[in-house]
Amino acid sequence: MHEITTLGQLKKSTYVTKSIKQELRDNLVQKIKRNEKIFEGILGFDDTVLPDIERAILSRHNILLLGLRGQAKTRIARLLTTLLDEYIPVVEGSELNDDPLRPLSRYAIDLIAEKGDNTPVTWMHRSERYVEKLATPDVSIADLIGDVDPIKAATLKLPYADERVIHFGLIPRSHRSIFVINELPDLQARIQVSLFNILQEGDIQIRGFKLRLPLDISFVFTANPEDYTNRGSIITPLKDRIESQILTHYPQNLDISLAITTQEADIHPDQLSKIHIPDLHRMLIEKISFNARESEYTDEKSGVSARLSISALENLYSTAERRMLLNHETETTTRITDFWGVVPAITGKVELVYEGEQEGPYNVAMNLIFKSCKELFLQQFPNPNQKIKKDLRDEYGVIRAWFSGGNNIEILNDDSDKNYEKNLIQVAGLKKLAEKYSESGKEILTMMELVLFGLSESEVIGKNILENSLHFSDPLSDMFNDMED
């Protein structure tokens, strides 16, 4: 079809003009009938958000995606281009993507009147039919709708009353396209008012001109909930004109969150081949994100983006890689102490309330790591503080006795794998306990380290974080040392 190069050839072809919303609807219907995946790479929304979007497309609605940061709103909007026809015909040279069979602009109408069936036609790929604008307070009506261009008027020697002096904004240039405005509440109220006509009547008016352009655009807006966005809000009449408002959400369970992180993290091939991350550590990253969203120190209205887990995984790989290089090793496995390197990925992704600011970003991040370690530990091992029945043996008795005997271990953050293993194995009863509760018998060192963190968070043993190391000892000895200090 896109081999057609003139209007005459197009008229003789089977091409039928249709609106963009009808185009989206028709292609969605075909994909649903063929049981094809419509939004590739979007996880966790199959039973909630995506059906709502499909219903909105079938209804030929403009869409408002409302949700906290990092909930794939923009990603979903960009994937809508997959529901467009691969190519559409356009009058060659038209800045408004004029349909040769339904010309809109003065340029296209004049060209067709002059050349008739010899009017040149080009073909526009669907990837070019997506326009995105981030709403900022400095966006003007001229940016979005258009304005008179004095330079064009002077160059073409045209009076200001001639419509050819108009410089069209982003919205008219998005004719026959998907137009996305991100962070809609940041748009000034008077600019939001300028969108009324295009949403309700499908046309625009530009500064004093009687010109009406019946534009064919599918609008998608994204926004954070108004109670969080202090910079502005969506004015009610505009919201009323957006037919479908769809609420997004964070992953509802750890498995989906883990799948998203694995899919989105950009890990270097060298890291993938040389660094092993146990499943426990991957799950620990997701628990940190979930706990951050529920923490008393973070602002739940601002949300905690899925980017936290993604950045944390990337940093975890890099922390282990750096340690491996420092020790001249060729491969390694991550440790919980490597999560110290994940802290920068956490502090930049959480918005703290007053109590959190008092605690400090670093301490909040470390508390999230330790809390998540304890939860993971209690999922894998018995609760050490649970009352033991008379006929049962204390699972942690040997470990308690070892530390109570004045023994302690110090794990250096950048210690070699050999020294790390040597330190853990010296704790009496630790390896045996880890082997007992390890499902596959693998990653024993990972389980051993988790036990130490779990016991320290349960206040069975003491933990002291030093500048470049971690010290586990008897809690009573730590108490006496603190008193002496």
pLDDT (tens place) for every residue of the chain, 485 residues total: 668 899 999 999 988 999 999 999 999 999 999 999 999 999 999 999 999 999 999 999 999 999 998 999 999 999 999 999 999 999 999 999 999 999 988 899 999 999 999 999 999 999 999 999 998 888 988 889 887 777 777 777 777 667 777 888 899 999 999 999 999 998 888 889 889 888 887 777 776 666 778 889 999 999 988 554 455 688 889 999 999 999 999 999 999 999 999 999 999 999 999 999 999 999 999 999 999 999 999 988 888 999 999 999 999 999 999 999 999 999 999 999 999 999 999 998 898 888 988 999 999 999 999 999 999 999 999 999 887 665 567 889 999 999 999 899 999 999 999 999 999 999 999 999 999 988 766 689 999 999 999 999 999 999 999 889 999 998 875 554 554 44
Q: What local confidence, expressed as pLDDT, does residue 479 receive?
A: 52
The encoded tokens of residue 363 equal: 């301490």
Measured in residues, the chain has a length of 485
Q: How far apart are CA 370 and CA 313, in angstroms?
A: 17
Q: How far apart are CA 59 and CA 213, in angstroms?
A: 23
Q: What local confidence, expressed as pLDDT, does residue 111 receive?
A: 94
Domain ranges of the chain: 7-247, 250-380, 383-485
Residue 63, classed as helix, strand or coil, is strand
Q: What local confidence, expressed as pLDDT, does residue 228 receive?
A: 47
> Please, what CATH class does the domain formed by 250-380 belong to?
mainly alpha
Q: What local confidence, expressed as pLDDT, does residue 477 receive?
A: 59
Distances in whole angstroms, Cα of residue 437 to Cα of each of 378, 428, 430, 447, 451? 12, 16, 11, 8, 11
pTM value is 0.88
Q: How far apart are CA 128 and CA 156, in angstroms?
A: 29
Residue 414, classed as helix, strand or coil, is coil
Hey, what's the torsion of the CAs at 289, 292, 294, 298, to 10 degrees?
Answer: -150
Tally of CA atoms within 13 A in the half-sphere of 109 that contains its CB: 6
Q: What local confidence, expressed as pLDDT, does residue 164 receive?
A: 72
Q: Which CATH architecture has domain 7-247?
A: 3-Layer(aba) Sandwich (3.40)
